[in-house]
Amino acid sequence: MTATQLKVDRLLDLDLLRTFNAVAETGELKKAAEIVCRSQAAISMQMKKLEQLVGSQIMVRSNRGIQLTETGKTLLGYSEQFLKLNNLTFSALKEDTVSGHFNFGVPTDYTQHFLTGFMPILSEEIPNLEATITCDRSRELRRKVMSGELDIAIVSGEADYQDKLTLWSERLLWVGANQLNYELLSSLPVAIYQDNCILSDLYHQGIEQANFEQHTVLTSSILENIATAVHTGFAIGLLPESIIDPNRVKPLPSSIIESNQTLNINMIHSPHLDDQTVEKIAHCLKLAEQK
């Protein structure tokens, strides 16, 4: 065979594909950089390198963020398959897939439920698994999963991310104590949940759209504090339905403020985990929620 007949196959770099997936998921180089723990300039260089490798433009920038070209959309589909096959390969080389040490991330407000509900089921279903738990806000947990610091995390769903596994959903309701007479108050006392998370964002959106005069009487980054303020009649607030005591509080009238939000609780995982492990742990999480 002559040199002109010899054809060298081009090889896709899994590290480039992992970064590409993060850019495609977030639609921003800055957010993707946070996820993969690289600088924004490094992410940009990686994407240029990937475009050179495939020989075509894979994304374009606009005021709406980064949009994939048709080539980019095609590449994304194969990229997900490549990363999945990589995981399956490592899985096939393991004698016991669901065992060993796992780093879990849990939202701060769900830690007690995780420890009392999920961990006993996990110990029973997967006895050879050792767990280390990190409690943090969902957005920080996302970053830690993508950077490899965590294997699996429970996070709140957000429009900027396309999480593939929803564990459960619950309504968010604006509520006040049963004894609170809205009609007699010229201004309603509000407990504000202040933090870098989707629930805090929804809080502020609701307050901006409300049809009432209000004044802040409590600000906290701990949801239990907000719930206590609401249940004791000290303030009104936006709470997940699961922590509301219907015997003590009631939803605010829609004429005052709408309660039309739903909070999705999702599971995300490291791309290095195989499907069998992910499915098994997701099964345990769903069992815990059902109980």
- What are the pLDDT digits (tens) for 230-285? 999 999 999 999 899 999 999 988 888 888 888 999 999 988 887 778 888 888 88
The CATH fold of domain 14-92: Arc Repressor Mutant, subunit A (1.10.10)
Same fold across 14-92 and 100-164+267-290: no
According to the CATH classification, is domain 169-263 in 3.40.190.10? yes
DSSP one-letter code for 116: I
**3-state class (DSSP) for residue 86:** helix
> How far from chain centre, in Å, is Cα 10?
35
Measured CA angle at 203 (ends 26, 211), to 5 deg? 130
Smallest CA-to-CA distance from 47 within 82, 15, 25 is with 15
Q: What percent of the chain has pLDDT over 70?
A: 92
> Is residue 178 over pLDDT 80?
yes
The predicted pLDDT at position 6 comes to: 45
The predicted pLDDT at position 5 comes to: 46
The predicted pLDDT at position 92 comes to: 61
Q: Into which CATH architecture does domain 100-164+267-290 fall? A: 3-Layer(aba) Sandwich (3.40)
- Residue spans per domain, the chain: 14-92, 100-164+267-290, 169-263
C-alpha distances out from residue 161 to 5, 35, 286, 289, Å: 46, 12, 21, 23
> Is residue 3 over pLDDT 50?
no
Task: Give the integer Cα–Cα distance in Å for 3 and 25.
Answer: 42
Q: What is the mean pLDDT of residues 188-203?
A: 89
> Is residue 187 over pLDDT 50?
yes
